[in-house]
Amino acid sequence: MSDLKNKIENTKDKVIGKAKEGVGRATGSQETELKGKLQYQKGDLNDKVDNNKEKIAEKINETLDKK
């Protein structure tokens, strides 16, 4: 259940980040644009971390199942 919550949170960060980035561009606010880019990157990085954790868990389970 935690995985789903993380995916939702990461997607939320990506969507809100892109929106802030667009608002920053439209209004000429470099600060808002930067905050949007950072929030998007946070969501993207967390997605990658979660995917790697899942892959590691799968490999560990496969290894343990072989014994």
Region of 30 on the Ramachandran plot (φ > 0 left; ψ -120 to 50 alpha; else beta):
alpha
3-state class (DSSP) for residue 1: coil
| Domain range annotation of the chain | 2-66
Asked whether 5 and 14 are in contact (CB, 8 A), the reply is no
pLDDT (tens digit per residue) in 16-48: 999 999 999 999 999 999 999 999 999 999 999
Mean pLDDT, the chain, whole residue set: 94
